[in-house]
A and B are shown apart, each in its own frame.
Chain A
Amino acid sequence: MKKIEEINDEIREVLLEEGAEGIYKCYQCGKCTSICPWYQVDLYDFPVYRFSLETAMGMVASSEDKNELAQEIDKIYRCVGCEACVDQCPHGIDTPKILRAAKRLLVDFGSYPETLKSTVQKIKNVGNPFGEPIENRADWAKESGVPQFQEEMDYLFFPCCLPAYDPRNQKVARATAGILQQAEISFGILGTKEHCCGEVVRRIGAEQVFTQVCKANIKEFTTSGVTKVLVSSPHCFTTFKNEYPEFGADFETLHITQFLSKLIDEGAIKPAKEFNKKVVYHDPCTLGRKNGIYEEPRNILKSIPGLELLEVEDFNRNLSVCCGAGSGGLWMEWDKDERIVNVRLKQLIDTGADIIAVACPYCLQMFEETLKSMNSEIQVMDVTEILYEAL
Chain B
Amino acid sequence: MKKTGVFVCHCGKNISSTVNIDQVVEEIGKNPNVTVCRDYKYMCSEPGQNLITETIKENKLERVVVACCTPSLHEETFRKAAESTGMNRYFLEIANIREQCSWVHSDMNKATPKAISLINSVVGKINLNNSLEPIKVPVTQKALVIGGGIAGIQAALDIANSGYKVTLVEKNPSIGGHMAQLSETFPTLDCSQCILTPKMVEAGKHENIELLTYSEVEDVSGNIGNFKVKIRRKAAYVDHDKCTGCGDCTEKCPTKVLSEFDEGLGKRKAIYSPFPQAVPNKPVIDKDNCLYFRFNGKCGICQKTCLLEAIDFTQQDRFIEDEFGAIILATGYDTYPKEKFREYGADKYLDVITGLQFERMVSASGPTEGEILRPSDQKIPKRVAFISCVGSRDPEHHMPYCSKICCMYNAKHAHLYKHQVPDGEAIVFTIDVRTAGKGYEEFFTRIKDHDNVLYVRGKPARVIKKGDKLVVWSYNTLTGRQLKLEVDMVVLATAIVPTAEAVVLSNKLRIQTDENGFFSEIHPKLRPVESMVPGFLLAGCCHSPKDIPDTVAQASAAASKALQMFSQPELSLDPQIAFVDPDVCSGCKLCVPVCPYEARIFNEKKRIVEVKEALCVGCGSCITACPSGATQQKNLQDLQMATMMEALLGS
Q: Which B residues lie within 8 Å of A33 (CB)?
A: 461, 475, 482
Contact of A30 with B474 in the complex, beta carbons under 8 Å: yes
Contact of A90 with B394 in the complex, beta carbons under 8 Å: yes
* Minimum C-beta distance from B466 to chain A (A): 10
Contact of A30 with B473 in the complex, beta carbons under 8 Å: no
Q: Which B residues lie within 8 Å of A28 (CB)?
A: 431, 477
Contact of A29 with B395 in the complex, beta carbons under 8 Å: no
- Asked whether A34 and B462 contact (CB < 8 A) given A88-B343, A92-B396, the answer is yes
Partner of B459, one of A31, A47, A319: A31
Q: Which B residues lie within 8 Å of A386 (CB)?
A: none
Contact of B462 with A29 in the complex, beta carbons under 8 Å: no
Contact of A47 with B342 in the complex, beta carbons under 8 Å: no
For window 302-319 of chain A, which residues contact chain B by CB distance below 8 Å?
Answer: 314, 319
* Minimum C-beta distance from B373 to chain A (A): 25
Q: Which B residues lie within 8 Å of A319 (CB)?
A: 342-343, 462
* Minimum C-beta distance from B605 to chain A (A): 65
Partner of A30, one of B389, B393, B394, B459: B459
Q: Which B residues lie within 8 Å of A47 (CB)?
A: 475, 480
Q: Which A residues lie within 8 Å of B432 (CB)?
A: 27
Q: Which B residues lie within 8 Å of A45 (CB)?
A: 481-482
* Minimum C-beta distance from B449 to chain A (A): 25
A191 to B484 Cα, complex, angstroms: 49
CB-CB nearest in chain B for A314: B464
Does A49 reach chain B (CB closer than 8 Å)?
yes
Contact code string A30-55 (vs B, CB < 8 Å = 1, else 0):
11111100010000010101000000
Contact code string B453-474 (vs A, CB < 8 Å = 1, else 0):
0000111111011000000011
Q: Which A residues lie within 8 Å of B342 (CB)?
A: 319
For window 379-435 of chain B, which residues contact chain A by CB distance below 8 Å?
Answer: 389, 393-398, 431-432
Q: Which A residues lie within 8 Å of B457 (CB)?
A: 30
Does A273 reach chain B (CB closer than 8 Å)?
no
Contact code string A62-91 (vs B, CB < 8 Å = 1, else 0):
000000000000000000000000001111
- Asked whether A91 and B395 contact (CB < 8 A) given A39-B482, A319-B342, the answer is yes
A67 to B247 Cα, complex, angstroms: 78
A201 to B297 Cα, complex, angstroms: 73
* Minimum C-beta distance from B477 to chain A (A): 5
CB-CB nearest in chain B for A88: B461
- Asked whether A30 and B458 contact (CB < 8 A) given A35-B343, A45-B482, A90-B394, the answer is yes
Contact of B482 with A29 in the complex, beta carbons under 8 Å: no
A182 to B473 Cα, complex, angstroms: 48
Q: Which A residues lie within 8 Å of B393 (CB)?
A: 27, 90
* Minimum C-beta distance from A271 to chain B (A): 30
Contact of B431 with A27 in the complex, beta carbons under 8 Å: yes
* Minimum C-beta distance from A375 to chain B (A): 24
A31 to B387 Cα, complex, angstroms: 12
Contact of B461 with A90 in the complex, beta carbons under 8 Å: no
Contact of B396 with A29 in the complex, beta carbons under 8 Å: no
- Asked whether A90 and B395 contact (CB < 8 A) given A29-B477, A34-B473, the answer is yes
- Asked whether A30 and B343 contact (CB < 8 A) given A89-B396, A90-B395, the answer is no
A81 to B345 Cα, complex, angstroms: 25
Contact code string A8-41 (vs B, CB < 8 Å = 1, else 0):
0000000000000000000111111111000100
- Asked whether A90 and B475 contact (CB < 8 A) given A27-B431, A34-B462, A47-B480, the answer is no
Q: Which B residues lie within 8 Å of A88 (CB)?
A: 343, 461
Partner of A90, one of B396, B460, B473, B480: B396
CB-CB nearest in chain A for B398: A90
A297 to B394 Cα, complex, angstroms: 31
For window 599-613 of chain B, which residues contact chain A by CB distance below 8 Å?
Answer: none
Count B-side interface residues using an 8 Å CB cutoff. Answer: 28
CB-CB nearest in chain B for A25: B395
Q: Which A residues lie within 8 Å of B473 (CB)?
A: 34, 39
CB-CB nearest in chain A for B394: A90
A34 to B342 Cα, complex, angstroms: 15
Q: Which A residues lie within 8 Å of B461 (CB)?
A: 31-35, 39, 88
A248 to B432 Cα, complex, angstroms: 46
A288 to B374 Cα, complex, angstroms: 35
Q: Which A residues lie within 8 Å of B476 (CB)?
A: 30
* Minimum C-beta distance from B541 to chain A (A): 22
Q: Which B residues lie within 8 Å of A35 (CB)?
A: 343, 461-462
Contact code string B43-73 (vs A, CB < 8 Å = 1, else 0):
0000000000000000000000000000000
A30, A31, A33, A90: residue with the most chain B Cβ atoms closer than 10 Å = A30
A90 to B482 Cα, complex, angstroms: 20
Contact of A34 with B395 in the complex, beta carbons under 8 Å: no
Q: Which B residues lie within 8 Å of A27 (CB)?
A: 393, 431-432
A49 to B473 Cα, complex, angstroms: 15
* Minimum C-beta distance from B237 to chain A (A): 44
A89 to B464 Cα, complex, angstroms: 19
A108 to B431 Cα, complex, angstroms: 37
B345, B389, B461, B464: residue with the most chain A Cβ atoms closer than 10 Å = B461
Q: Which B residues lie within 8 Å of A30 (CB)?
A: 457-459, 474-477
A353 to B464 Cα, complex, angstroms: 21
Contact code string B334-348 (vs A, CB < 8 Å = 1, else 0):
000000001101000
Contact of A49 with B477 in the complex, beta carbons under 8 Å: yes
* Minimum C-beta distance from A25 to chain B (A): 9
A32 to B458 Cα, complex, angstroms: 10
Q: Which A residues lie within 8 Å of B389 (CB)?
A: 29, 90
Contact of B475 with A34 in the complex, beta carbons under 8 Å: yes
Q: Which A residues lie within 8 Å of B458 (CB)?
A: 29-31, 34
A34 to B475 Cα, complex, angstroms: 6
A345 to B394 Cα, complex, angstroms: 32
Q: Which B residues lie within 8 Å of A34 (CB)?
A: 458, 460-462, 473-475, 482
A88 to B473 Cα, complex, angstroms: 13
CB-CB nearest in chain B for A319: B343
A31 to B394 Cα, complex, angstroms: 12
CB-CB nearest in chain A for B483: A34
A39 to B345 Cα, complex, angstroms: 18
A116 to B342 Cα, complex, angstroms: 36
A23 to B457 Cα, complex, angstroms: 19
Q: Which B residues lie within 8 Å of A49 (CB)?
A: 475, 477
Contact of B396 with A91 in the complex, beta carbons under 8 Å: yes
A88, A92, A319: residue with the most chain B Cβ atoms closer than 10 Å = A88
Q: Which A residues lie within 8 Å of B343 (CB)?
A: 35, 88, 319
Q: Which A residues lie within 8 Å of B395 (CB)?
A: 90-92
* Minimum C-beta distance from A316 to chain B (A): 10
* Minimum C-beta distance from B187 to chain A (A): 25
CB-CB nearest in chain A for B480: A47
- Asked whether A90 and B397 contact (CB < 8 A) given A30-B477, A319-B342, A319-B343, the answer is yes
For window 329-372 of chain A, which residues contact chain B by CB distance below 8 Å?
Answer: none
* Minimum C-beta distance from A48 to chain B (A): 9
* Minimum C-beta distance from A78 to chain B (A): 15
Contact of A29 with B464 in the complex, beta carbons under 8 Å: no
Q: Which B residues lie within 8 Å of A32 (CB)?
A: 461
A32 to B476 Cα, complex, angstroms: 12
Contact of B480 with A29 in the complex, beta carbons under 8 Å: no
A90 to B458 Cα, complex, angstroms: 13
CB-CB nearest in chain B for A32: B461
* Minimum C-beta distance from B538 to chain A (A): 28
A319 to B343 Cα, complex, angstroms: 7
Q: Which B residues lie within 8 Å of A89 (CB)?
A: 396
Closest 5 CB pairs of A and B: A29-B459, A34-B461, A90-B394, A35-B461, A30-B475
A-B contact pairs, 21 of them (CB 8 A): A27-B393, A27-B431, A29-B431, A30-B459, A30-B475, A30-B477, A31-B458, A32-B461, A34-B473, A34-B482, A35-B461, A39-B475, A39-B482, A45-B481, A45-B482, A89-B396, A90-B394, A90-B395, A314-B345, A314-B464, A319-B462
A residues near B, CB below 8 A? 27-35, 39, 45, 47, 49, 88-92, 314, 319
Kindly list 11 other residue pairs between chains A and B, CB separation below 8 angstroms, not including A30-B476, A34-B458, A319-B462.
Answer: A29-B389, A31-B459, A31-B460, A32-B461, A34-B482, A39-B482, A45-B481, A47-B475, A49-B475, A90-B393, A91-B396
